[in-house]
């Protein structure tokens, strides 16, 4: 391929869908987020590093999507939002989850481990982060593939604290479907298989164009 | 104060509680998180900027708290976690909320606005982020001041989508208290006062040392 063709491809390919380009950047910001929470270097050094980060932001924003990526994707393009705060690859707070989808049993599952930036009670995951993860994975059961839907309710029960920096599992499955309504159950379990949190959610499919 | 005294203060003051030093750094990472989501600059430039960010992380980690800040604070020091993912000043994903506490009416309230990194449905806030915010603010009603407690359950009902990049309000109040159990109601409303999400939660105070 010629250099000119390369250049055209670069312009034409929506920047949104270029994990090869932006994943490394997001990973670096993910590291920074963690380092910023944990660092204890001296004040004088922090100031200089802060200035360097502001310089990088300015360069990234020389050409940027205005507003959010949803505006770029459009209201119809629902899935695979790279900015998603729970599992978006371009969102440095998000944990890009390797979701295992079991189509036969209408089940989604993933393993994950969270560090310092996700702490609520000392050495445990923030209850709100637990709710956020459940909402995301419960909305990813195979029944929903590519179907725009809204969460109608999400009820989370906390059984025991979820430890930080430990492997945890999250899974979700369809409980029942009634027309546009899908009732989903989800849970988070520790490495010993003990449930730390469980949830029930109702998702309602949007009407076409709705 | 002498330069030596300055130096001693710098060593003795727990770095954890130095917003003057670390707030600017976290703000810069917050900008970066947003810029990383929205940028569309060319691949070649991204690579160089990524390398610069990794350099800053290395310098921040030259001296850093191992593990999470909860370990530094200790199990008894509950409130004011600067790493808190919802409102911690040192957490670049968090939105440091100006919480208004009404002690007479056992109520907490804050206004907020979220941008590109918090998107779920196109141009609206992720339902999991809504749940996370409610959990945090509902856990901040005056009844809980300095009391270690766990969320037992959090039930969120979504009434309508919460718009991105718009001023929203979140409020929470004590519904009733039964011994160690406090039942709290919360809601998020748009600028017109319409409820976008509401929630009920049960918080259980931990026994001393528990």
pLDDT digits (tens, 9 = 90+) for A33-79: 999 999 999 888 999 999 999 999 999 999 998 888 876 765 445 55
Q: Given an 8 Å threshold on Cβ–Cβ distance, is A132 in contact with B133?
A: no
- Sheet of strand B107-112: strand arrangement: A100-102, A107-112, A168-178, A181-189, A195-205, A149-158, B149-158, B195-205, B181-189, B168-178, B107-112, B100-102
d(CA B184, CA B200): 6
C-alpha pair distances (Å), B210 with each of A114, B149, B178? 23, 10, 19
- And the tokens for A16? 């949104």
Q: Given an 8 Å threshold on Cβ–Cβ distance, is B127 in contact with A116?
A: no
Banded pLDDT at A146 (limits 50, 70, 90): low
Are the beta carbons of A134 and A188 closer than 8 angstroms?
yes
**Residue A98 pLDDT > 60, yes or no?**
yes
pLDDT tens digits, residue range A25-39?
A: 999 999 999 999 999
How close does chain A come to B80, measured CA to CA in Å?
A: 10
How close does chain B come to A86, measured CA to CA in Å?
A: 8
HSE toward the beta carbon, residue A208, CA cutoff 13 A: 0
**Concatenated DSSP letters for chain A?**
--HHHHHHHHHHS-GGG-HHHHHHHHHHHHHHHHHHHHB---HHHHHHHHHHHHHHHHHHTTSB-SS-HHHHH-TT--S--TT-TTT-TT-TTS----PEEETTTTEEEEEE---GGGBSSTTBB-HHHHHHHHHHHHTTSGGGTT--EEEEEEEEEE-SPPBTTS-EEEEEEEEEEETTEEEEEEEEE-TTS-EEEEEEEEEEEPPTT-
Chain A residue numbers with beta carbons less than 8 Å from the beta carbon of B79 are: none
Q: Given an 8 Å threshold on Cβ–Cβ distance, is A40 in contact with B124?
A: no
What is residue A133's predicted lDDT score, i.e. its pLDDT? 96
- And the tokens for A162? 């979820």
CA A129, A56, B53, B47 torsion-angle sign: positive
Residue B81 has its nearest CB partner, among A32, A91, A119, at A119
What is residue A138's predicted lDDT score, i.e. its pLDDT? 94
How close does chain A come to B73, measured CA to CA in Å?
A: 8
Q: Given an 8 Å threshold on Cβ–Cβ distance, is A120 in contact with B83?
A: no
* pLDDT digit string (tens) for chain B, length 210 residues: 334 434 433 433 455 657 778 889 999 999 999 999 999 998 889 999 999 999 999 999 999 988 888 767 654 555 578 889 998 889 999 988 888 999 899 999 999 999 999 999 889 999 999 999 999 999 888 777 667 788 999 999 999 999 999 999 999 999 999 999 999 999 999 999 999 999 999 999 887 654
Residue of higher predicted confidence among A138 and A76: A138
Backbone φ, ψ for residue A168 (5° rounding): -125, 160
Mean of pLDDT values over A149-178: 95
How close does chain B come to A105, measured CA to CA in Å?
A: 24
- And the tokens for B14? 């727990």
Instruction: State the CB neighbour count (10 A cutoff) for residue A152.
Output: 17
What is residue B10's predicted lDDT score, i.e. its pLDDT? 41
How close does chain A come to B131, measured CA to CA in Å?
A: 6
In this structure, of A141-150, A165-174, B20-29, B186-195, the range with the lowest mean pLDDT score is A141-150
Residue A29 has its nearest CB partner, among B53, B70, B122, at B53
**Residue A114 pLDDT > 50, yes or no?**
yes
Residue A199's Cβ-count burial label (10 Å; 0-12, 13-18, 19+) is buried
Q: Given an 8 Å threshold on Cβ–Cβ distance, is A59 in contact with B49?
A: yes
CB pairs under 8 A between A and B: 349
Burial profile A124-141: b = 16 or more Cβ within 10 angstroms, e = fewer: bbbbbbbbbbbbbbbbbb
What is residue B19's predicted lDDT score, i.e. its pLDDT? 72
d(CA B54, CA B61): 11
Q: Given an 8 Å threshold on Cβ–Cβ distance, is B56 in contact with A60?
A: no
What is residue B203's predicted lDDT score, i.e. its pLDDT? 93
- In this structure, chain A runs to a length of 210
Instruction: State the CB neighbour count (10 A cutoff) for residue A210.
Output: 8
Are the beta carbons of A136 and A95 closer than 8 angstroms?
no
Q: Are strands A168-178 and A107-112 parallel, antiparallel or unpaired?
A: antiparallel
Mutate to test the interface with A, among B9, B17, B24, B33 (most CBs of A within 10 A): B33
Residue B65 has its nearest CB partner, among A38, A66, A161, at A38
A65, A22, A49, B89 alpha-carbon torsion, rounded to 10°: 70
Mutate to test the interface with B, among A19, A60, A67, A206 (most CBs of B within 10 A): A60
């Amino acid at each position: 391929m010629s250099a000119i063709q390369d250049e055209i491809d670069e312009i034409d390919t929506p920047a949104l869908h270029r994990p090869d380009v932006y994943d490394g950047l997001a990973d670096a910001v993910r590291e920074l987020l963690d380092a910023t929470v944990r660092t204890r270097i001296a004040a004088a050094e922090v100031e200089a590093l802060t200035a360097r980060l502001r310089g990088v932001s300015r360069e990234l924003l020389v050409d940027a999507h205005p507003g959010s990526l949803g505006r770029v994707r459009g209201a119809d393009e629902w899935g695979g939002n790279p900015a998603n705060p729970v599992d978006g690859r371009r969102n440095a707070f998000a944990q890009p989850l390797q979701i295992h989808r079991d189509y036969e049993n209408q089940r989604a599952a993933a393993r994950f481990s969270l560090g310092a930036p996700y702490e609520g009670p000392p050495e445990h995951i923030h209850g709100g982060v637990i709710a956020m993860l459940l909402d995301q994975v419960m909305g990813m059961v195979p029944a929903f593939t590519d179907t725009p839907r809204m969460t109608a309710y999400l009820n989370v029960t906390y059984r025991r604290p979820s430890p930080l920096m430990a492997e945890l599992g999250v899974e979700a499955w369809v409980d029942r479907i009634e027309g546009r309504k899908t009732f989903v159950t989800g849970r988070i379990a520790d490495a010993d298989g003990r449930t730390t949190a469980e949830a029930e959610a109702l998702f309602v499919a949007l009407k076409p164009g709705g």
